[in-house]
Structure 1
Amino acid sequence: MKQTGGSDEAKRRAGASAAQLPEDGDVVGVGTGSTAAYAIRTLGERVDAGLDIRGIPTSYQSRALAREAGIPLTTLDDDSVDIAIDGADQVAEAGTLVKGGGAAHAREKLVDTDADRFVVVADPTKLVEQLDVPVPVELLPEARRPVIDAVEQAGGKPTLRAAKRKDGPVVTDNGNFVLDCAFGTVDDPSGLARTLETTPGVVEHGLFVGLVDEVHVGSEDGVERREC
């Protein structure tokens, strides 16, 4: 059985390792989640020490943390991304990912795809041979019934993600809903990705295929760097 969460030290090491990669003048995509947060804090320390970078956040959460860390911010309207640093819910062989546990996968994919170099930070509990966690699908609120029907026809079991501490569904930073779609073991991530992205009403899905350049896997005593 897979573990469901790595230690803070493993996450810290992975995030801090990737945060050493940006150089002066780089535009850095800053991801969302607990491991990416360590990268943002380390980038802030490097900025405080004189590193000249600008960040493009992938969510309200990462924007707030980057500002707190003192990282100057820009947008995709004004700059292209040199390197993106982001976490993942699962990492399979060859760097195929499931993302979207924080409901930020639409903006994450936008930034990560734009980047010349995409680096994933993870702890060992996120590594799997094949992806098998539910795939988050962001959708227009008006498209809930048609998208649910399409997911079921593709063999998935969709569940509307409920908000915590309030009634109703999770609403993304883009004002949309999220379905968590269980497909079991995903034997063909590319094929499933094509099916989801061509479904009317789907804004974005959490399968990241063919985007990752490098994975930094933190542990209690070090970091393993894997090229993809």
Structure 2
Amino acid sequence: MQHAQTAGRAALPDLHDEHPTKADRARQTTSELFGCDGQFFVVPGAFPNDLPDHIVYLDTVYAVLDNLGRHTVRDADQEHQVVGVPALDQATAIRNALTHIAARRRDHARRVHRNRTLRGREAAPPIRINYANHSWTVHVRCACAGIYDLRVHCEHLRDAAVWLNSAPGAWQLCPDSPRHVPGRGEITATGARGTAPVVVLAGPAGEPSTLALHDVAEIVPTLPDEPDQ
């Protein structure tokens, strides 16, 4: 299935004669829902594909309607509002709608960025958690892009700990995440005490200790050893 990832000429989504996300018995045509001919299409929540991964929308269904040769796109899930500029052909009306949706979502992402910055927060939540290969991976300020099955963003490690405590399965830190816990040492392994996630640390002299992830205030890059004076 081709998804609408950009508003470019080669990015038209698949079209459906019936509302594609309704249960079989509740599916409707555009004639039943809007009173005129047309088709439905889905805009993915991740559209456009240049949105930051902490800005996520639900997949949304739209209808492109043919009203006496004038093609109009309307929201088919909520208030049935017109989206984008109507056109004389179906493809142009869809592209106009995709351009409008992309601009609106990018503007929202910019406002979120600005508001977080004004409040003294990082531009994006610093912690991401995804699920792959039967394991949770916690990404702390890493540069990983295109993370598969990204589930949640967190502001603090204690928030990540709460999530992991309620989610079954093993967990690990992303290899590109920092490992140094100020005042405690370097994280050498991850695990669990019951269902609560923990980290195993090596102290300054190599002594091992275990600390609940909930009690880790921060993980930072390891500082290089200072040269002898």
If the TM-score is normalised by the length of the shorter chain, which range does it land in?
under 0.3
Higher strand share: 2
More helix by share: 1
What's the TM-score, normalizing by structure 1?
A: 0.26
Q: Choose between structure 1 and 2 for higher RCO, CA contacts under 8 A separated by at least 6 residues.
A: 1
